Chains A and B, each alone.
Chain A
């Protein structure tokens, strides 16, 4: 298996900025994904990083440092609807192919307060 660590819970207030960290240990790294998951629903794709640096997409940004085995998801201008679990997932290169399976962390439950 792969070691993927992220905080269990975080809280923040509406309008604030929050950073959710994810560290991982894997061989054959081939991309890191972030997902948002509301209770009782399936995960929704947020971002994908395979090279070092920051990817920005509206209020959400994701950063990757491959040498440090580290990523974060940055959420700006928080809204109540952002209260959800945020899942970090690492893809490991598969033998004979670059597209292997995704390994998920347990998720970070974010609560946004008014």
Chain B
């Protein structure tokens, strides 16, 4: 499978716990994006990388969120001290000039 891969697909966690998601992009793409989506809304931008450099981070993103792409390949998104409002689908996408593909997403539920 040469598409964008995200793990886990689903995550249920208790409020206050830390969670980490992983994204493996398409190998030829050097751009990697993280988005968050809630019901009835379009994807909301969180951050993106070109190779290992984090180029932009949404100001909507609190200090509890951090993303890394240490070797310019896979990326991780960590949420510390989760809150119920963090419950959403977390989407990763990788892109080239003419295409941008999403992974299947990680659905986070904070209880």
Contact = CB atoms under 8 A, between A and B. Distances in A.
Interface of A: 4, 31, 33, 35, 41-45, 48, 50, 87, 89, 91, 94, 97-99, 101-107
B100 A102 contact: yes
Contacts of B40: 106
B45 interface: yes
B98 A87 contact: no
**5 nearest A-B residue pairs (beta carbon):** A104-B42, A42-B102, A42-B105, A106-B42, A104-B43
Interface residues of B, number: 26
Given A42-B91, A43-B91, A48-B99, A97 B42 contact: no
A4 B45 CA distance: 14
Interface in B20-48: 31, 33, 35, 40-45, 48
Contact of B50 (A42, A97, A106): A97
Contacts, number: 59
Interface of B: 31, 33, 35, 40-45, 48, 50, 55-56, 89, 91, 93, 95, 97-105
B58 to A, nearest CB: 9
Contacts of A48: 98-100
Contacts of B99: 45, 48
22 contacts: A31-B98, A33-B100, A35-B102, A42-B89, A42-B102, A42-B105, A43-B91, A87-B42, A87-B43, A89-B42, A89-B43, A91-B100, A94-B55, A94-B56, A98-B97, A102-B43, A102-B93, A102-B100, A104-B35, A106-B42, A107-B41, A107-B42
